[in-house]
Structure 1
Amino acid sequence: MFRIEAEVDKARHDLLRSRLRDTNTAASPFIAALRRSPTTREVPLHLWALNDSGDLAGGLVGHTWATWLHVTHLWVDDPHRGTGLGSRLLTRAERIAHRDRDCTAARLETWDFQAPGFYRRHDYRVVCAIPDYPPGITEYTMIKPLP
């Protein structure tokens, strides 16, 4: 018999993640090799754009892992949209991932009301569309090979 609990528990979360990682490592020689190599571990990649006053004007948060850049957040404050700042942040992250971390591709998720057109202009293509996630919205997963 099992008891199922619904609660946020960081210690259990970390244990579950560790056990899942061990299971995945045992099943995949590639993942096992990645875990042994210090250059292919998940490494954060954060970029911050500050205005003349030192306030946050935009930023990109992501990480690199397994020869991939994963952009999780890219945001530009309203007064700076359309100035090329988002493009500069994305291009810089791709350059760091490729040149400094040997990444060969990038991925991200965006909603239909956010920036799929922006990413298409930067040569990303949709590989997955999830309609109604959340209801009334389509989420896209997009990828791009890095030169």
Structure 2
Amino acid sequence: MYTFDTTVSETRRSLLVARLRETNTHRSPVLAALRGTVDDTEVPLDVTALDPAGGEEFAGGLIGHVWARWLHIDYLWVDERHRGAGLGGELVGRAERLARDQHGCRFSRVETWDFQAPEFYRKVGYTLVSVLPDYPPGVTDHLFTKSLS
């Protein structure tokens, strides 16, 4: 009979991730070829816009990362005072060019909630791939992708 433990343990979490990674590597020739290459490392990618009035005040920013030649846009925010002026599109465009030109990315992906920016991502060339209703309850999650080639 199994013994179950619900204590959160960083050691066990790391072991589980390592073992799953090993299993996936053995089962997928694609992942096996990826392991140990530069593409197998998550690389942070950030673009920040400072307020044109000067100082260190944020006008907006994008936090993302690159993995397996994909740009992952994790967070995008534009200050209310700077919305509608194209700053969001400029932040995304700069991140896409950086990902493509410096990291060899061929695609980009982003998740956004229904009340955030689905129309914005359509406007800047992203294609809706999936919709997940009630994530979290009462909100719909959208996954978008875009070719960078």
Q: Normalized against structure 2, the TM-score is what?
A: 0.89
Deviation at 1:100, TM superposition (A): 1.0
Structure-2 residue corresponding to 1:36: 36
Tell me how far apart the structure 2 counterparts of residues 84 and 12 of structure 1 sit (CA, whole Å): 46
Which 5+ residue runs of structure 2 have no aligned equivalent? none
Matched, 1:92 2:100: no
Tell me how far apart the structure 1 counterparts of residues 10 and 58 of structure 2 sit (CA, whole Å): 30
Deviation at 1:62, TM superposition (A): 1.2
Deviation at 1:67, TM superposition (A): 1.8
Which 5+ residue runs of structure 1 have no aligned equivalent? none
Deviations 1:93-126 (A, max 9, x none): 1001111111111111001110000000111011
Of 101-110 and 30-39, deviating more is: 30-39
Letter in 1 for 2:22: D
SS of equivalent to 2:138: coil
Structure-2 residue corresponding to 1:110: 112
Deviation at 1:39, TM superposition (A): 4.3
Tell me how far apart the structure 1 counterparts of residues 70 and 76 of structure 2 sit (CA, whole Å): 17
SS of equivalent to 2:35: helix
Task: Give the aligned length.
Answer: 147
Deviation at 1:40, TM superposition (A): 4.4
Tell me how far apart the structure 2 counterparts of residues 124 and 31 of structure 1 sit (CA, whole Å): 26
Of 3-12 and 48-57, deviating more is: 3-12
Moved over 4 A (4+): none
- Structure 1 89/8 Cα, relative in aligned 2: closer, same or farther at 3 Å? farther
Mapping of residues 1-147 of structure 1, within 5 Å: 1-51=1-51, 52-147=54-149
Q: Normalized against structure 1, the TM-score is what?
A: 0.91
